[in-house]
């Protein structure tokens, strides 16, 4: 298994744990408070920048690892996980569903798909 695939799977597991834990693990590690969420940059038009960055990174790694062999599956998986993880916040205690977070997740995935398609187009020329 390639290093990119391993890194994708590790990041995927970490992201799932951070999403389903009933509180902010990163908030606890940085601020000592499970209720406080660290913010890397300000949000874009009510879209969570943290979520864009997280899903962009996950998606780029997933696309690099699986684009050539399983393009449709990896794209479907990334879109599915970006939606499901945010919807789970409806039932996880101390977590809250927000449309800005959902849109951030989806935007991160879509940006990575666009960049991968542009890269592949230029590479084939």
What pTM was computed for the model?
0.88
The total number of residues shown for the chain amounts to 125
CA 42 to chain centre: 17
Q: Which helix (H) or strand (E) holds 68?
A: helix 49-87
Domains identified in the chain, total number: 1
Position 9 confidence tier, pLDDT thresholds 50, 70, 90: very high
The C-alpha atoms of residue 108 and residue 27 are separated, in whole angstroms, by: 22
Determine contact, residues 50/65, Cβ cutoff 8 Å.
no
The C-alpha atoms of residue 9 and residue 7 are separated, in whole angstroms, by: 6
DSSP line for 45-58: TTB-HHHHHHHHHH
Residue 96 pLDDT greater than 90, yes or no: no
As a whole number, the mean pLDDT across the chain is 90
């Amino acid at each position: 298994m390639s290093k990119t695939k391993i890194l994708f799977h590790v990041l995927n597991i970490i992201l799932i744990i951070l999403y389903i834990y009933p509180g902010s693990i990163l908030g606890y590690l940085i601020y000592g408070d499970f209720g406080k969420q660290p913010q890397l940059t300000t949000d874009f038009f009510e879209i969570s920048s943290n979520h864009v960055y997280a899903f962009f990174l996950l998606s780029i790694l997933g696309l690099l690892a699986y684009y050539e062999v399983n393009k449709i599956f990896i794209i479907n998986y990334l879109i599915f996980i970006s939606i499901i993880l945010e919807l789970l916040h409806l039932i996880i205690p101390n977590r809250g569903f927000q449309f800005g977070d959902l849109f951030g997740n989806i935007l991160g995935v879509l940006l990575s798909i666009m960049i991968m398609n542009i890269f592949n187009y230029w590479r084939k020329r």
